[in-house]
Amino acid sequence: MPRLSLYSQNKQNDYRFIDRIVRESYTVGGLDIFIHKYLGVKPTADDGTPGDATQPHYDETNPLFIEDLLLLENRNRDYDEDIYTLRGEYRVQDLDFDLSQFGLFIQGDTLYLTFHYNDMIDHIGRKLMNGDVLEIPNLKDYHPLDNTVPALPKFYVIDDTSFASEGFSSTWLPHIWRVKAIPMVGSQEYKDILDDYTNNTGGIDGDDGEGNGEGTLADYMCTHQKNLEINDAIIAQAEHEVPLSGYDITKFYLVNASEEDNNAVYITGDSTDITADNNLLTVDMALISPDISGYEMSYMTGDGLPPNGLPVTPGVAFPPNAVNGDYCLRLDYVPNRLFRYNGSYWNKMEDSVRTPLTNGADCKTQRSNFVNNTKTVETTDRGDIPSRQSLSKILKPQEDN
C-alpha cells in the first residue's frame, strides 16, 4: 500500500482542488483592481554619438532593463495602454499615529494586497512586480472638498512582492501572491498614466462631468501647478519688496552744495531768485539741482534717476537748449548714464547699475542677457557651439573628429 502524503514535487489533483477553492474565494469575496502593467523603460535610439556608459541605449522594451545603472532608476517608464482587471483582497485599516522614538508618524498609507497566483498569471502573463500601478476603484473620492475637482481614482505603486504566508496550503505549494503598495505620486516615472488616463464618465478630462473639458489626471492629482503658483507668488512679493539690486536712496533729500567749500545753498521764500507773478512760480534750476551726488555715491546706488525727484530727459543724445541744472539720461550707454548740465558741459553723475533681480525674457539688462544668452558661436572644426553651457559639458573632454 503506497504511503499517504499531500506533498508532492509536482502539482497534483490535491493542489488543483485547493487552488479552485482559493480562486472561488477571490471571485466571490474580492474586488476588481485595475492593473497598469509596467512594460519597461522607453526605448532610446542610438544615434552613434558617444554617450554615458551608465545610461545604455535600448531598442526594445523589457521590464528587466535598467535605464540608469549608476542611480539604479527607471525614470522614463513605459506602461501598457491596456488596463487589466484582477480580483484581489486587502485589509481596510484606519489612519493610526505611530509614536516611535523618532517622532509621530501616520500609518495607513501602505496597502498589502493579495491575489490568486494562477489567476494573475493567466490574466497578466507574469507576476505582479515592482513598478506596476494598481488602481483601487472602491477608494475613489466622490465628494472632494473642492467641488470643482471630479471624483479622482486612487493609485498605488507596487513596492515589494512575495508569496503570502497564508497562501500555502496543506500541499506546501503557494496559491496567493502578496504585494506591498504605496501611494503613487506625480513624478516623471508615471507620466504615461498621468497624461494618458481619461475617464469619459467621471469627468477627468473636464469639469462638466462628461469629459468634454481639457486637462489630464496630472492636473488634478499632482501639486506641480500649485507649487508653481506658490513660487510665482513668492517671486512677485520679493520683486515688490526688493525690485532692484543695490540700495534705494530715492527717499533721501539731497541739498545743493559746492564741491569746493561744501556749503549748502537752501532755497527760501525771500530769495531773489524766486518770483511769484500771476500765480506762476519761477525757480532757478541751478539752485535746486544738486551738482554732486554727495552721500548718494555708494556701492550699487546708481539708478539713473536725478536726486530729489527732479525731471530728467531720456534719450540717445543730449537735448538742445539745455539750462544749468538740467539732467539727461543717455540710453545708448551700457549701463545707462545720468548727466547734469552745469552751464558749459554735461557732467557725469552716475551709472544706472541697479537692475532687476529676476532674470528672464522680460528683463533686458546686461546681466540677464549674459545669463540667458541663447546665441551660438561658429567654429571651423566643431560647428556651432552654444554660448551658454554648463560647466560639466565645458570641462568634459571631447574626442577629436
Residues 303-359: tens digit of each pLDDT:
888 888 889 999 999 999 899 889 999 999 988 899 999 888 999 988 888 888 887
Concatenated DSSP letters for 126-163?
Answer: S---TT-EEEEEEEEESS-SSTTSPPEEEEEEEEEEEE
| Residue 205 pLDDT | 41
For the chain, what's the residue count?
401
| Residue 101 pLDDT | 60
pLDDT tens by residue, 175-203: 999 999 999 988 889 988 887 665 433 44
- Count CA within 13 A, CB hemisphere, residue 279: 0
CA distance 187 to 153: 17
Reported pTM: 0.62
| Residue 273 pLDDT | 52
| Residue 115 pLDDT | 97
| Residue 237 pLDDT | 94
Q: Which three cell numbers stand for residue 14?
A: 490535491
Could you say which residues of the chain have pLDDT below 50? Answer: 199-213, 259-262, 269, 271
Beta strand 384-386 with 256-257: parallel, antiparallel or unpaired?
unpaired
Q: Which three cell numbers stand for residue 107?
A: 500609518
CA distance 266 to 347: 22
| Residue 211 pLDDT | 40
| Residue 182 pLDDT | 92
| Residue 358 pLDDT | 80
Q: Which three cell numbers stand for residue 77?
A: 517608464
| Residue 5 pLDDT | 82
In the chain, % of residues over pLDDT 70: 76
